[in-house]
Amino acid sequence: MKNDSTLSGNDTTAWGRRRFLNTAALTGLTLGAAACTDKQPAASGPTAAPAVASNAAHASGNDTHLKPGELDTYYGLWSGGHTGDMRVLGLPSGRELLRIPCFVPDALVGWGHTNESKAIMGTKPNGALRYTVGDTHHTHASYKDGNYDGRYAWINDKINSRIARIRLDYFICDKITQLPNVQGFHGIFPDKRDPVDPAINYTTRVFCGGEFGIPLPNAGIEDADTYRSLFSCVDAETMEVRWQVLIDGNCDLVATSYDGKLAASNQYNTEMGAKYEDMMSAERDACIFFNIARIEEAVKAGKFKTIGSSKVPVVDGTHAANKDPKTALTAHVSVPKNPHGVNASPDQKYFICAGKLSPTATVIELAKVLEWFDGTREDLDSSIVAEVEIGLGPLHTAFDGRGNAYTTLFLDSQIVKWNVDAAIKFHAGDKNAKYVVDRLDVQYQPGHINGSQSETVAADGKYLAVGCKFSKDRFLPVGPLHAENEQIIDMSGEKMVLLADHPVRGEPHDFIIFKRDLVKPKQVYDLDDFPNAIKDPKESGVFRNGKKVTVKMTSQAPAFSLREFKVKKGDEVTLILTNLDKIEDLTHGFAIPNHDVNFIVNPLETASVTFTAGEPGVYWCYCTHFCHALHLEMRTRMIVEA
């Protein structure tokens, strides 16, 4: 820390104590020790934040306690972590509205059980799901003119290198793609407009950072010197992998420029070490920039190779192959060791990398990176216009659209609000420029942070959400596995105000917050979207082809179209169910005892399951989703004959 004037915003006496107590924690982190223990003072901080909002926050109208029937003003799309799904929240209340299953089976909706969801998730030759676990980290949505357009959202699965697309008209997953030759797929970000065709001002690509270096191809040859990572580009519409870039170093998060020219990833382990001590040998790491137009020109010109059985074009983005700025596909800006996070400011000028092991934030001016690519700037690192101290363990950054950045400090258990222009002045030599505006203690060890409309041209500076990795004393104890703590903060004024705590099942990661009027969800499905829909109950029946049986049925409260249906033991049964109810919120379920069948159909939706008929007997199939006053009577019988 430089001095208490630079770190203004809290009592300087408290800051002296905080610096002293956290020195050991920072040293321990750099040596690979645990970053938090029961004795770590940063957990509670010397000036604990209030558990509820102040009167000033209530007076401003930023109250998370909405009246009965009152709707939230923002949607939030959250990663679900190990549940492999996406969470949909209403903000500022923090109420969870929906979970969208993607990578992991979900018994409520039948995801991973219906034939339609299995086709999206992917299956083995025997029909079983290819994977039943996931680890969702980062979620982002499609853009138009620099703001969200309500078409799509995407989320990654780090474990199995998959990316899922969410249709925001129905809030469902409609496509999943696995990235070839990638392990540890971490950060994602869509482009904000197509740089090749200036007339296209919306998302056409999604960029995916490959984290773990592996031998390429990964065919059982163990040679750490051959380890490399890949940065991938996925087509936003087809969800096919367009191209990949071979790189040095592990990708963490991803950001894109508003003009569509650059994508970037903060990198650690630029040494490409396979062991911890090798990963820590260099003094600094990098923020790598990708010149999108040049990469696509190289692919079009055939200047690529393929790896293993994959047909995806791979161009060379390594240091050695990109020394000439006028032909380079990538550029590497030096940043402090182990950066964690790169974020695009809404004024469209800067990318900000947080230091993690350094108490600094690095501000990179994008125009100067483009000058290097054009050959008019010799020193690429001169694109760094600020590298300033903000606190211990900086991770991720959000923006308010008023020139301020908000960065989580993992070790200090704080959010620091700092002014980007003042930081640039301070870095340039004006030591009177007080760039730190405010600090707020959060509970505890914050990781991801995002603000309302934060990384769009419409950043509005209303609310912050922060994901804290530990909750300790914030909620009722429930055994050794604690809930994590998500907190909502009013950032509309000069001072940040903590509004609410929410417990959350671990381990979620990133999220975005956008105004509710940017998305127009449909309340009822279109029957014509389903090729095998049963549009008339008269089409119902049992249709046999040898040992394969198709059962067609409709649901319409309070009855199924078939009062019973007969199959034989060992039959391969495909049951197709269409919900003919057109009323909003009238969902039906369908379960068959002892056959591992349970799924739902929303109004005018069709879904199907395939199973093997079991032992002879009567099996009551019932509606599992409360739908009608005669819900308990909404049943049919599957009669299995010998």
pLDDT digits (tens, 9 = 90+) for 282-297: 889 999 999 999 999 9
Judged against a pLDDT cut of 60, whether residue 46 lies above it is answered with no
597-621: pLDDT as tens digits: 999 999 999 999 999 999 999 999 9
Q: Mean of the pLDDT values across residues 195-211?
A: 91
Q: What mean pLDDT is predicted for residues 293-321?
A: 97
Q: What is the 3-state secondary structure (H, E, C) of 20-78?
A: HHHHHHHHHHHCCCCCCCCCCHHHCCCCCCCCCCCHHHHHCCCCCCCCCCCCCCEEEEE
The per-residue pLDDT for range 520-547, each reduced to its tens digit, is 999 999 999 999 999 999 999 999 999 9
Which whole number is the average pLDDT over 361-383?
Answer: 97
Arithmetic mean of pLDDT over the chain: 90
Single out the residue of 219, 95, 232, 73 nearest to residue 154, CA to CA.
Answer: 232
Neighbours of 422 (CB within 10 A): 20
Confidence of residue 26 (pLDDT cuts 50, 70, 90): very low
- The radius of gyration of the chain's CA atoms, rounded to the nearest angstrom, is 27
Q: Does residue 192 have a pLDDT over 70? A: yes
Q: Which of 212-216, 348-352, 446-450, 592-596 comes out lowest in average pLDDT? A: 212-216
Reply yes or no on whether the pLDDT at 9 is more than 60.
Answer: no
Least confident of 33-37, 147-151, 200-204, 515-519: 33-37
Residues 6+ apart with CB under 8 A from 391: 7, 359, 407, 409, 411, 412, 414, 416, 439
- Residue 163 and residue 121 in contact, taking contact as beta carbons nearer than 8 Å: no
Report domain extents, the chain.
179-337, 527-641
What is the rounded CA–CA span in Å between residue 344 and residue 369?
A: 14
Query: What average pLDDT score do residues 201-214 get?
Result: 95
Whether 271 has a pLDDT exceeding 70, the answer reads yes
From the list 386, 380, 382, 375, the residue with the least C-alpha distance to 345 is 386
| Half-sphere exposure (Cβ direction) of 14: Cα atoms closer than 13 Å | 16
DSSP for 96-159 reads EEEEEE-SS-BTTTTBTTSHHHHHHH-B-TTSSBS-S---EEEEEEEEETTEEEEEEEEEEETT
* Nearest of 236, 268, 256, 259 to residue 189 by alpha carbon: 256
What is the rounded end-to-end Cα distance, in angstroms, of the chain?
Answer: 79
Architecture of domain 527-641: Sandwich (2.60)
CA distance readout (Å), 548 to 540, 542, 544, 616: 17, 11, 6, 17
Is the confidence at residue 226, as pLDDT, over 90?
Answer: no
Neighbours of 205 (CB within 10 A): 23
pLDDT digits (tens, 9 = 90+) for 94-140: 999 999 999 999 999 999 999 999 999 999 999 999 999 999 999 99
- At residue 27, the pLDDT reads 45
As a whole number, mean pLDDT of residues 320-344 equals 95
What tens digit of pLDDT does each residue of 56-74 get? 444 444 578 899 999 999 9
- The pLDDT value given to residue 49: 40
Cβ(210)–Cβ(184) below 8 Å? yes
Cβ atoms of residues 437 and 418 within 8 Å: yes
List of residues 6+ apart from 417 with CB closer than 8 A:
9, 404, 405, 406, 436, 437, 438, 439, 440, 491, 496
For residue 78, give Cα distances in angstroms to 137, 163, 442, 499: 9, 15, 19, 19
For 363, the token pair is 């501000």
**DSSP secondary structure of 208-272:** EEEEE-EESS-SS---GGGEEEEEEEEETTT--EEEEEEESSEEEEEEE-TTSSEEEEEEE-TT-
**CA angle, corner 125, sides to 121 and 127, nearest 5?**
55
Please give the C-alpha separations between residue 559 and each of 517, 627, 632, in angstroms, as whole numbers.
37, 10, 10
- Reading the block at residue 607, the tokens are 């879904």
Cβ within 8 Å of residue 564, ≥6 positions away = 636, 637, 638, 639
Q: How confident is the model at residue 5 (pLDDT cuts 50, 70, 90)?
A: very low
Mean pLDDT confidence for 168-184: 97
CA neighbor of 532 nearest in space, from 545, 551, 546, 559: 551
pLDDT tier at 304, thresholds 50, 70, 90: very high
In this prediction, what percent of the chain has a pLDDT beyond 70? 90
User: Beta 394-399 vs 404-409: how paired, if at all?
Assistant: antiparallel
Which pLDDT belongs to residue 275? 84
Residue 117 has phi, psi (to 5 degrees) of -70, -35
Residue 17 confidence class, pLDDT cut points 50, 70, 90: very low
Cα 466 from Cα 482, distance rounded (Å):
17
Cα 412 to Cα 95, 390, 391, 447, distances in angstroms: 28, 10, 7, 11
In this prediction, residue 11 carries a pLDDT of: 38
Q: Which of 335, 332, 445, 331 is nearest to 388 (CA)?
A: 335
